[in-house]
Amino acid sequence: MTVVSKLSRFIELRRAYRELQQISDAGLKDIGLSRGAVKSAVYGK
């Protein structure tokens, strides 16, 4: 991976994390996630 592609991926993941953090707990439950599982769902950790 080039530096540019790594940076792009980081920005994409960060954006996804922020978007999921803004969803209500009920909304997360509807898509099968809990508040505590958001980070691992995005980053795979």
Residue boundaries of the structural domains of the chain: 3-43
**What pLDDT, on the 0 to 100 scale, is given for residue 36?**
95
Q: What is the average per-residue pLDDT within 17-33?
A: 97
Q: Assign 38 a pLDDT band (cuts: 50, 70, 90).
A: very high
For 11-27, the DSSP string reads HHHHHHHHHHHTS-HHH
Residue 28 predicted with pLDDT over 80: yes
Distance CA 39, CA 17 (A): 7
Distance CA 36, CA 19 (A): 14
Single pTM value for the model:
0.84
Q: Assign 7 a pLDDT band (cuts: 50, 70, 90).
A: very high
**What pLDDT, on the 0 to 100 scale, is given for residue 12?**
98
